[in-house]
Amino acid sequence: MSSNDDVFRALADDTRRLILEELTDNEQTLFELCARLTMEHDVDMSRQGVSKHLDVLEEAGLITSTRRGRTKVLEFAGTDHLKAAAAWMDRLTENDTDTESERS
């Protein structure tokens, strides 16, 4: 089970955030993902580099890889983890608002 630490660590990199956005739109193979990152987002990175980012995202439970026949497909799987992280951030901002309203 991954913790909020893993989730925030995974999110602390713009390439990984971009990969997450790509995978929420549609599931893809590593090849397709690399092609899109290079051609649509000007990401200049080797497949090995992308793979390392995918490992971090998978470790944090934000994506999964599923075998389909002989091919492996990458999918977004982070809804619950991101909701938990967002809930924590919401609590902070809500407290902040309360403090301000108390003051006024």
Q: Give backbone dihedrals phi and psi of 46, rounded to 5 degrees, phi first.
A: -75, 165
Both tokens assigned to 82 = 């991101």
Residue 94 in the binding site for other proteins (CB under 8 A): no
Cβ atoms of 88 and 47 within 8 Å: the answer is no
Query: What is the rounded distance in angstroms from the CA atom of residue 79 to the CA atom of residue 12?
Result: 17
The upper half-sphere exposure of residue 37, i.e. CA atoms within 13 Å in the direction of its Cβ, equals 26
Residue 47 in the binding site for other proteins (CB under 8 A): yes
- Binds other proteins (CB under 8 A): choice among 71, 79, 95, 97: 71
Residue 52 in the binding site for other proteins (CB under 8 A): no
Residue 38 in the binding site for other proteins (CB under 8 A): yes
Q: How far is the CB of 8 from other proteins (least distance, A)?
A: 28
Cβ atoms of 58 and 64 within 8 Å: the answer is yes
Within 10 angstroms of residue 62's Cβ, the number of other Cβ atoms is 26
- Binds other proteins (CB under 8 A): choice among 6, 32, 58, 75: 32
Residue 70 in the binding site for other proteins (CB under 8 A): yes
- Binds other proteins (CB under 8 A): choice among 17, 72, 83, 91: 72
Binding site for other proteins (CB under 8 A): 29-32, 35-36, 38-40, 47, 67, 70-72
